[in-house]
Structures are given as structure tokens and as C-alpha cells.
A and B are shown apart, each in its own frame.
Chain A
Amino acid sequence: MNAVIATPSSPPHIEALQTRVLGGVLRFARWSPLTSVALFLLVVPIVLAVLAPVIAPFDPTLNQYSKLVQEPSATHIMGTDKLGRDVFSRLLYGTRVSLFVAFAAVLLGEALGFFLGVATAYIGGRFDLVSQRLVDVVMSFPTLILAMLLMAGLGAGIATIIIAIAVTRVPGSARIIRSVALSVKSLPYVEAARVVGASHWRIMLRHIAPQCVAPLLVVFSLNLGAAIFAEAALSYLGVGVPPPTASLGNMLGEQNAQSFKPPWWLVVYPGLAITIIILAANLVGDSLRDFFDPRLKGRGMGR
């Protein structure tokens, strides 16, 4: 989709949209210091996750049986877990896995929702009606329950958790895109394209789809927060990223709440990381939405 926008031969309205978005981003940075802090909080985990192999002092899956469940110390700054693995290293790699899962799931889910939304709006008729009922069905599950159901069907794993979370992101995106595409569809230039004899595919992809990208970018960050939560919860419950691979969620699941003297460092650090990422993603998402769509200002999002 980006390629379409960047083509020099883009119609003028797309260039206008492009400058609007670019100018918007610049003004946005000066507009809200809180958002800048949130962006910073979001970028730091991403950088740490990317650099995990460089920063991590230990192999995240290396068991050291001489150092089981040790409190934080100079060598293991966040302590070790029940298998003697370095918690700090696991946290870095876990953030990497969790962020990867969340980004991939949101991209996949929004892309599917995007095409479904544009197609249903453009084709309309019975196809639209049936798709809407399907979206209703998917939406009548609590998101976490739906993801658990899909994980039961697909089996635990990184690819499957990405698919499961992506599916929970489809209906919302499809609804948003459908409403935008419906309003774009009735604009004079789409009619003009049809009169000139453009094919349905061309109208959908070149004339309607580009106008629908912005609304998805706006909710990307909010979806990211929801996806991080979903990954954490699923992996915590044992139906997500399978061990020994570290993820922020399964690190919490591995510590055993039943033990008599629970090691606090196994609880505090992964949870803090999850909270900070969700907090930052939500704050960034809220400001993005307030900025691009002031009508929705102040409307928070639940999980």
C-alpha cells in the first residue's frame, strides 16, 4: 500500500493526503509532550528487543543448575528463575518475542480487516450482508475467549498465536474500513473513474483503498496494546508461546504462584515490561486518534 502512495504518478488527492499526514506528524511531535514521553516508552522496548542478542549477558535458555532461583545480584541483575536461567536475558528476548507476535498479529489482522472492509463496502449487496453477520459472530466472543478457542484448535506455537490474535483484530478493523470505504465510494471521483471505464479491481485498489489507510494507522497503536495483552494472557495461561522460548507472558506463567515463598523478581519484572508497553501503546494511540480524528477525542478504549 505504501508503494502505491509513494508512486510519483499518484493522483493529486493522494499527494495531498501524503503532505497532510507528514505535516500532521511534525506538528504532532510539538503538540503533546506526554505523547513524546509515551513514544519514548514505546521505542525503548523496541530498541532493547532488537538489540537483545547484543545486550543480553546470558543465553536466555541456558540452564544453570548451580544457580536456581537466585535473588537479583551483580551478575544476574534481575535474578534467576527455577531452571537457573538469567531473568534479565529472558526479559530482553521475551520482549523481542512478544513485540514480534504483537506487531505481526496486528499487521495481519488489520490487513485482513482492510481488504474485507474495502471489499464489503464496494461490492455491497448479499456479500456485504453475509460478511456483516460473520463479523457479528466473531465479535460475539470475548476477545480472549476467542483467541483461546483458536489456540485450542491450532495448537500452541508462535505462528498459531499470531493467527489467533490477528483474527480477534479483524472485525474491528473491517468495521472501521467499511464505514470509511462506504463514504469514499460515493464521492464524485470514484463515479468518474467508473464512467471512464476503470475496472472494479482498479477502483478498489487505486481509488478507494488509499483513502482507507489512515484510519487503520490511527488504531494501529491501540491494537498493538491489545495484542501485547492478549499474548501475555494466553502465554501465561499456557496456551500461547510454548517454553523454553521466553515471552513476557510465559515468564509470568513459569513462576509458580503456589510456592510458599514466591520469588518476587520473577513476578515484578516481566509484568512491569508488559504494563509499560501497553501503557505507552495506549497513550500513543489515544493521541494519534485525538489528533487525526478529533470527533473521537477522549473516547478511551477498553481491552
Chain B
Amino acid sequence: MQTYIARRLLAAIPTIFGITVLIFLAMRVLPGDPFLAVGGDTASTMRMTDEQVQQARAQLGLDRPYWQQYLSWMGDIARGELGRSFWRDEPVRDLILRRAPISAEIATLAIVVAWFVGIPLGVLSATRTNTVIDYIARVFAVLFIAIPGFWLSILIVTVLVLTFLWRPPITSVDLWVDPWTNLQMVIGPGLVLGFGIAAVLARFSRSSMLEVLGEDYVRTARAKGLAARAIIWPHALKNAMLPTITVTGTAIGSLLGGAVAVETAFSVPGLGLTLVQALNERDWTIVQNLVLLYGVLFTLVNLLVDVSYSWFDPRIRYS
């Protein structure tokens, strides 16, 4: 098991290196110039003179050769500094540390909701095929996979404002300082994202449960007279959970991406909203480091999924 984990960790290193290169190429080499939109004729929000643009470029080190820029970025990361935000004049590290907790809370809430809604729904649906419950579960799954989370969020905010004249608080409060205000902020995004993943989970756990229920050992258990409950939970569910783990992994990918739009819709100041603001302000130091964070997180999640998968199914370790 240890050697397997070590092997997987080693394999992740070139991937993360590739991620940094891809981000760097996208930010520096692709034709869009961060300062074209600020200076020059196409200026939209702010105008800078040519000299100011030159100065800013020099300040950010954009006038150096690409390889130097890349190495200095790697150096920043190695020192744990991540550079300074261009407009906010604040270390990007501090910004991320300040805004990450609320995103982490939302993600945790979403995954808990997804598991506690999605899996039971999938199991119920599989054990009672073609009943009302099955029908409801399937409609739920199809619907929530299709509805964009951010639209649902806008809709919820709109309805809350129109009917109760209430909107979620928009200034960040830590969980341990004021749990009630904090809860009001995370509950909306958490539920919306959670139901989105729950729909995918319900669907997958239904199909994998159906598959397992058709296996020989389930038939044997039934033939020797075990109660339905004794078959479903210990025999079938354990084995049906395997594909569900993989799905949770991919779902976290859509969670990380989807949270960006959902946080924006609820105006929750998490990492997602930070990324959107940075993109619109063209604060490239923030953008490249945040995207790197998302890439590394997702890589680690996939790693975790693979490892836990091999823990549940030892056959995988040896292949």
C-alpha cells in the first residue's frame, strides 16, 4: 500500500510541473496582453500612459525573458510568497489564506449534502425500481444535472429578496467568530452545489447498485433467507460504493469550477469570487496563483480517489 501511494505521489510531480507550465504559457505567451486593456486605445475601465505601462511591466518583471519570469514565479512559490497583488498591493498568499476558509466550508457542506442525499436516493431508487420513489429520484437526478448551479443561485437570491426582503450577508465572518452569520453565507452555495453533485451521485449509485444486486452472491444471500436489509447494506452497498468514489472525485472537479460561478451569484467572498474579481481587474498575479491552487487541489483529489479506490479494491494495487 505504501509503495502504491509513493508511486502515485511521484507520478503527480510531472503533472503539477505541467500545470505550472501550462498556466504560464496561457498567461504570458497567448496574445492577450494584460496591459493592453488598461493602457492603449482599447482601455475600458482605467487608462495608463505608455510610461506607466512600462513602469508597471518592469515592476511585475514582465520585461524579462520568459524563462526568467517562470523561474522567479517558481521561486515565489518555493518561498511560499506567491507574489503581490497588482491592484490590491497585498501578498497573494494573505488574500488566499483570508478567503479560502469560506470556500472550504462551502465545499465540505456540498460534499456532505451530496453524500447524504445522493447515495440514499440512488440506493432507494435501485431497490424499488419503477416505483414512485424511483421515479422521483430519477427526475431529481436528470433535472439537477441539467440546471446550472449559478442560475439556481441567482434565482434563490432573487426570490429571497422579492418575498422576504432578505439577502445573504456579504461580508466575510469566520465560523468561530459568528457561527450564525457564517452559516447564512455558506448554506446557500453549499446546498446548491451539494444538490448538483447529489444528482450525479444518485444516478451512479443507482446504476452500480442495480449491477451489484444482479450478482450471484446477492442471489445466494437471498436464497439462504437473509432479510432484504441484511442484503442491501452489508452485501450490496459496500461493493456498489466503489464507482461512487470515482464519481465523487470527478464531481469535485465540477464543484471547484461550479463554485466560482455560484459564489459569485451569492456574492460570497470565497476563492471563486476572488478569481472572478481578479480576472475582471486583470490582476494576473492572483489569477495565475489561484488557478495553480485549483489545479493542484484537483490533482490531489484525483490522487486521493485513486488511493482510496485501491484501498477498497486491493486488486488495483498490483496491476
Kindly supply a per-residue 1/0 record for chain B positions 239-264, scoring 1 wherever the CB is within 8 Å of any chain A CB and 0 otherwise.
00000000100110111111011001
Q: Is the CB of B261 within 8 A of A275?
A: no
Q: Is the CB of B267 within 8 A of A236?
A: no
Query: Across the interface, which residues of A come within 8 angstroms of B267, CB to CB?
Result: 257-258
The smallest C-beta distance from B285 to any residue of chain A, in angstroms, reads 12
Query: Across the interface, which residues of B come within 8 angstroms of A160, CB to CB?
Result: 32
**A119 adjacent to chain B (CB < 8 Å):** no
Within 8 A of A (CB), among B5-57: 14-15, 18-19, 21-23, 25-27, 29-32, 37
A154, B28: Cα distance in complex, Å: 10
Task: Kindly report which residue of chain A lies nearest to residue B287, judged by CB atoms.
Answer: A152
Q: Is the CB of A267 within 8 A of B14?
A: no
Task: Kindly report which residue of chain B lies nearest to residue A260, judged by CB atoms.
Answer: B161
Within 8 A of A (CB), among B151-168: 151, 154-155, 157-158, 161-162
Query: Across the interface, which residues of A come within 8 angstroms of B143, CB to CB?
Result: 279
Q: Is the CB of A140 within 8 A of B15?
A: yes
Within 8 A of B (CB), among A115-170: 133-134, 136-138, 140-145, 148-155, 160
Give the A-binding residues of B (Cβ under 8 A): 14-15, 18-19, 21-23, 25-27, 29-32, 37, 141-143, 145-148, 150-151, 154-155, 157-158, 161-162, 197, 200, 203-204, 206-207, 210, 247, 250-251, 253-258, 260-261, 264-265, 267, 275-276, 279-280, 284, 287, 291, 294-295, 298-299, 302
Task: Kindly report which residue of chain B lies nearest to residue A239, judged by CB atoms.
Answer: B279
**A302 adjacent to chain B (CB < 8 Å):** yes
**A89 adjacent to chain B (CB < 8 Å):** no
A149, B251: Cα distance in complex, Å: 20
Query: Across the interface, which residues of B come within 8 angstroms of A148, CB to CB?
Result: 260, 275, 279, 291
Query: Across the interface, which residues of B come within 8 angstroms of A94, CB to CB?
Result: none
Task: Kindly report which residue of chain B lies nearest to residue A38, judged by CB atoms.
Answer: B142
Say which residue of B27, B150, B157, B247 sits within 8 Å of A236 (CB atoms): B150
Query: Across the interface, which residues of A come within 8 angstroms of B200, CB to CB?
Result: 300, 302
The smallest C-beta distance from A169 to any residue of chain B, in angstroms, reads 14
Q: Is the CB of A140 within 8 A of B302?
A: yes
Contact status of A257 and B154, CB under 8 A, knowing A140-B15, A275-B146, A283-B142: yes
Query: Across the interface, which residues of B come within 8 angstroms of A282, CB to CB?
Result: 142, 145-146
**A8 adjacent to chain B (CB < 8 Å):** no
Task: Kindly report which residue of chain B lies nearest to residue A271, judged by CB atoms.
Answer: B151
Q: Is the CB of A143 within 8 A of B253?
A: yes
The smallest C-beta distance from B42 to any residue of chain A, in angstroms, reads 9
Query: Across the interface, which residues of B come within 8 angstroms of A303, CB to CB?
Result: 145, 254, 257-258
**A298 adjacent to chain B (CB < 8 Å):** yes
Say which residue of B23, B31, B279, B291 sits within 8 Å of A238 (CB atoms): B279
Residue of B141, B143, B150, B298 with most chain A CB atoms under a 10 A cut-off: B150
Contact status of A261 and B162, CB under 8 A, knowing A142-B256, A145-B291: yes
- 6 closest Cβ contacts across the A-B interface? A144-B257, A153-B30, A137-B18, A298-B207, A155-B32, A271-B151
Q: Is the CB of A138 within 8 A of B22?
A: yes
Q: Report the stretch among A14-22, A71-79, A225-233 that lies at the interface.
A: A225-233
Give the B-binding residues of A (Cβ under 8 A): 133-134, 136-138, 140-145, 148-155, 160, 225, 229, 232-233, 236-239, 252, 255, 257-258, 260-262, 264, 267-268, 271, 274-275, 278-279, 282-283, 297-303
Query: Across the interface, which residues of A come within 8 angstroms of B253, CB to CB?
Result: 142-143, 302
A257, B276: Cα distance in complex, Å: 15
A262, B161: Cα distance in complex, Å: 8
A251, B158: Cα distance in complex, Å: 15
Contact status of A153 and B32, CB under 8 A, knowing A140-B295, A283-B142: yes
The smallest C-beta distance from A38 to any residue of chain B, in angstroms, reads 10
Q: Is the CB of A136 within 8 A of B15?
A: yes
Query: Across the interface, which residues of B come within 8 angstroms of A258, CB to CB?
Result: 267
Say which residue of B254, B264, B287 sits within 8 Å of A302 (CB atoms): B254
A130, B193: Cα distance in complex, Å: 35
Q: Is the CB of A140 within 8 A of B299?
A: yes
Task: Kindly report which residue of chain B lies nearest to residue A263, judged by CB atoms.
Answer: B158
Q: Is the CB of B158 within 8 A of A145?
A: no
Q: Is the CB of B260 within 8 A of A140?
A: no
Contact status of A275 and B14, CB under 8 A, knowing A141-B294, A142-B254, A144-B260: no
Query: Across the interface, which residues of B come within 8 angstroms of A144, CB to CB?
Result: 254, 257-258, 260-261
A225, B254: Cα distance in complex, Å: 14
Task: Kindly report which residue of chain B lies nearest to residue A34, judged by CB atoms.
Answer: B142
Contact status of A142 and B294, CB under 8 A, knowing A274-B151, A282-B146, A300-B200: yes
Query: Across the interface, which residues of A come within 8 angstroms of B27, CB to CB?
Result: 149, 152-153
Query: Across the interface, which residues of A come within 8 angstroms of B26, CB to CB?
Result: 149-150, 152-153
Q: Is the CB of B298 within 8 A of A142?
A: yes
A257, B162: Cα distance in complex, Å: 11
Query: Across the interface, which residues of A come within 8 angstroms of B302, CB to CB?
Result: 140
Say which residue of B18, B37, B154, B210 sits within 8 Å of A267 (CB atoms): B154
Contact sample, A vs B, 27 pairs, CB 8 Å cutoff: A137-B22, A142-B255, A142-B294, A149-B287, A151-B279, A153-B27, A153-B30, A153-B32, A232-B150, A233-B148, A233-B258, A233-B261, A236-B264, A238-B279, A252-B151, A257-B157, A271-B155, A275-B147, A278-B147, A282-B142, A297-B207, A298-B203, A299-B204, A300-B141, A302-B145, A302-B250, A302-B253
A133, B276: Cα distance in complex, Å: 29
Q: Is the CB of A133 within 8 A of B14?
A: yes
A288, B260: Cα distance in complex, Å: 31
A239, B210: Cα distance in complex, Å: 42
